[in-house]
């Protein structure tokens, strides 16, 4: 089973995407604390990351 990490600050969007992916039998990791994104990534080792590039506390263009 593939593991997909969702990094999205809009809860409604995150929940819809997570629900849909779960329905299609993907394992989903939702990140809700944006101060520890890299730690969460290393811990969960996802196969794919869906990343919102406009996060409140994390600059994704590093």
What are φ and ψ of residue 53, in 5° steps? -85, 0
Residues near 35 by Cβ (< 8 Å), separated by ≥ 6? 57, 58
* Biggest distance spanned by C-alpha atoms of the chain: 33
The whole-angstrom separation of Cα 28 and Cα 2 is: 9
* Residue given tokens 């809860």 in the structure block: 11
Helix (H) or strand (E) holding 29: strand 27-31
Average pLDDT estimate for 12-27: 98
Which pTM does this prediction carry?
0.86
What's the pLDDT tens digit per position in 28-49? 999 988 888 889 999 999 999 9
Task: Name the average pLDDT for the chain.
Answer: 90
């Amino acid at each position: 089973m593939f593991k997909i990490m969702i990094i999205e600050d809009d809860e409604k969007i995150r929940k819809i995407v997570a629900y849909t992916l779960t329905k299609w039998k993907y394992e989903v990791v939702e990140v809700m604390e944006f101060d520890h994104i890299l730690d969460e990534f290393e811990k969960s080792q996802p196969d794919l990351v869906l990343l919102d590039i406009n996060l409140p506390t994390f600059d994704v263009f590093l």
